[in-house]
């Protein structure tokens, strides 16, 4: 891909083909570039890494769903 030019000469195409190329280009930008930018934004939320680590507890009490409502 490094051999590809950053600029493509689309002047050789008809106006209809040019519109199709622009449409396809916009589709590719929406599909790949915007998702990548959104992912980068979501990764940089500003919260420390410790925020995403699970909380360690000494003892975990397992209970049934019905037990929660017995005293209510």
72 residues of the chain, pLDDT tens digit each: 556 667 888 889 999 999 999 999 898 888 888 666 556 555 566 777 788 788 888 887 787 888 878 776
- pLDDT the model gives residue 49: 77
Identify whether the C-beta of residue 24 lies closer than 8 Å to the C-beta of residue 32. Answer: no
- pLDDT the model gives residue 2: 58
Spell out the SS3 assignment of 6-69: CCCCCCCCCHHHHHHHHHHHHHHHHHHHHHHHHHHHHHCCCCCHHHHCCCCCCCCCCCCHHHHC
Tell me which residue has tokens 């959104």: 38
Task: Compute the distance between CA of residue 42 and CA of residue 36 in angstroms, rounded to an integer.
Answer: 10
- pLDDT the model gives residue 16: 93
């Amino acid at each position: 891909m490094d051999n590809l030019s950053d600029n493509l000469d689309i002047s050789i195409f008809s106006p209809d083909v040019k519109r199709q190329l622009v449409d396809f280009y916009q589709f590719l930008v929406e599909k790949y570039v915007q998702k990548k930018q959104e992912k980068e934004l979501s990764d940089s939320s500003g919260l420390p890494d410790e925020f995403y680590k699970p909380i360690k507890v000494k003892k975990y009490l397992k209970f049934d769903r019905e037990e929660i409502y017995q005293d209510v």
